Chain A
Amino acid sequence: MVKIADIREPSTSVNILAKIVSLREAKSSRNGSESIYHYGILGDETGTIQFTAWSFPSSVREGDIVELRNCSARIYNDRIRITVGSGSEVVLMPEGKMEVKRTYEERAIKDLKTSDPYVTVTGVITGVSSRETEIKGEKVTLYSGFIDDGTARVRISSFGVPLKEGLRASLRGARVTEFNGRLSLTVGRQTEILEASEPEIQMSRNHLIWEVTSPVGNVSFSGIPVFVGERSGIVTKCSECGRFTDAEGCRDHPDAEKVMDLSCYFTLEDGTGSMSCYLEGDTLKEFLGFSGDLNSADPVEIHQLVVKSLECIPVRVTGDLSIRNESMRMRVHSIGKITDMEISQELLEGD
């Protein structure tokens, strides 16, 4: 039997005695046929490891102790995990007891991925709100907020465990999930919220596009807008829902008033990749230096102003990323031209 802490490299014929820390079921489609597989986390007194089981006894539940024979350790999504295949055996140990050493790797928020679902994140909790909800007939308080570690920010949802506004905390064993194209962290039964005692390390939220692969919030990129969308400029929106309207008005609120606003979209490139960016309203007006009345403005002139102010101008954008139609985009909440100082600092980097 091998201990979980000793499983570091790919190997075959792995035998382990472990506790089922978490167990989930999912469907997989291959060659037109659907099959069910299980995945979750195994633990022993030395640590925890993720597993995938292509065949798994239905009698096994979370918290059970099992002996796994003839499994393999494989690399998947840059992480080692146990695979229980058709040639593996899963033997339930009904009398077994085991203390599991919880091990969750500390991750920067910008590096969070759903493929690495249980992690420790340390940052400042903000924007806390709460509401009552019902889960399986039981009333639970759902606390929502954000956590920001200096590299990025994500939403947190906590079922029953209060979140404290402004607290710098470590969330140990938080679950990384994706909802509505955005990454978030869920505080569940296995998560500990501890006040962070170690001094805060200053980290940068300025990243290269190739460094950020998940839809996190409050990140910055500096680059050059190479294409400005042809519909950038004056737009009309529904006064009720804020959505863009066409000539016939808002489809959901046909009687609502149409209001004018500024909006633009562009492709930002930074030498390592490209990204679609969207910005509108006061952020865009301030960047353009526009303070006039949109009702009397010439749409063609405004479009030209947007293009002239953005195209091929080095800018830094900060905003929230989301995934739509399998591609990442940023809703920009601040934008500014890159200063000589920032360029000099970039030149000094790596010296």
Chain B
Amino acid sequence: MEFSKREPSRWIFSRELRDSTQTEGSETDERMRPYIVTPLGTRLKRIFFCGTITTSSIEENSSRLVIADPVGSFYVSASSAGFNEPVRDEMSKFNTGDRIAVMGKVSIFKAETGNFLFTINPERIWSADDALRNFWNARTLIIARRRVLAIKEAQKLEKPSEMMLIRLGYSPEEAHFALLAVNRYKDYDYSRFIESATTSVRKDQSDEINRAKKSILEIIDRHSDDQKGVSYETILGDAAAEGIDKKIIDDSLNALGNDGEVYEVSLKRFKRVS
């Protein structure tokens, strides 16, 4: 059962949309947007994503943004006509380098080469902080991974059916989407897709570790005692107060040790290498 009658937004990386070559429904009926069926079997009209503005073009009649996520870019376009206008005004408040979240419907254009090009018509636009970016990255990656696992299970079966996949523990929707993908994208390189998405999201996370390393060095400098160094509990307390979670603190302390920036002067007491 769908929880709401409104078409929910799907969370996908830009590359999943860019690699899409299949649609469902009429491509010519202006009133009805066709569904896009992506290589991972996502059937969508509306998406929600988070990224950083890399290009901004705000003009009187139309505005365009290019928004980078970990694996590529989304192209957002709004005109001054119709329902887009309030969102277009909102778009003009953001600059290149700002991080934003966008919910919008996907428009399809067929290039002369026959390839599809996709533009997002924004319905809502928000400023995005680290928490939103990290959550969107993590959740979108986990959904993509689960879809790929279901697709790979379906590929192993001689006559895959939704029931077989449900019995393996996939949700009815995952099973349905997996079969859509298997039937529509026979040669897609799923392993490459997941490897690329995982590496890119992790890189974003390693940027977070770099920020945490800087904070930890400042904490050590602030509390440093020439003889004893700074206790792990003090670092944990101060860093947590800055909103850094324990796992990131531990990873960052290990990284600082490996970098030769700090050392453990005694059990669980850290000092900066002078």
Chain A residues with CB under 8 Å of chain B are 75, 78, 208-211, 213, 222-224, 226, 267, 269-276, 311-314, 323, 327-329, 337-341, 343-344, 346-347, 349-350
Contact = CB atoms under 8 A, between A and B. Distances in A.
B184 interface: no
Interface string B1-42: 111111011110000000000000000000000000000000
Contacts of B138: 343-344, 346-347
A274 B247 contact: no
Nearest to A75: B163
Given A328-B3, A341-B245, A341-B246, A274 B135 contact: no
Given A271-B140, A344-B248, A346-B142, A312 B128 contact: yes
Interface of B: 1-6, 8-11, 48, 101, 103, 124, 126, 128, 131-132, 134-143, 145-146, 149, 163, 166-167, 171-174, 201-202, 205, 243-248
Given A312-B101, A346-B142, A327 B48 contact: no
A274 B131 contact: no
B171 A208 contact: yes
Contacts, number: 121
Nearest to A340: B245
A267 B247 contact: no
Chain A interface secondary structure, helix, strand, loop or mixed? mixed
B124 A226 contact: yes
Nearest to A330: B3
Contacts of A275: 3-4
Given A272-B173, A340-B247, A341-B246, 9 more contacts: A75-B163, A78-B172, A226-B124, A267-B6, A271-B139, A273-B173, A274-B3, A327-B4, A344-B205
Contact of A78 (B8, B11, B135, B163): B163
Contacts of A329: 3
Contacts of A312: 101, 124, 126, 128, 132
Q: Sort A-B residue pairs by CB-CB distance and give the 6 closest, nearest first.
A: A271-B11, A340-B245, A274-B8, A275-B3, A314-B135, A312-B126
Contacts of B2: 273-274, 327
A340 B141 CA distance: 16
Nearest to B139: A271
A270 B140 CA distance: 9
A273 B163 CA distance: 21
A347 B141 contact: yes
Contacts of A347: 137-138, 141-142, 201-202, 205
Nearest to A337: B131
Nearest to A328: B3
Nearest to B7: A274
A210 B205 contact: no
Nearest to B212: A340
Contacts of B101: 224, 312
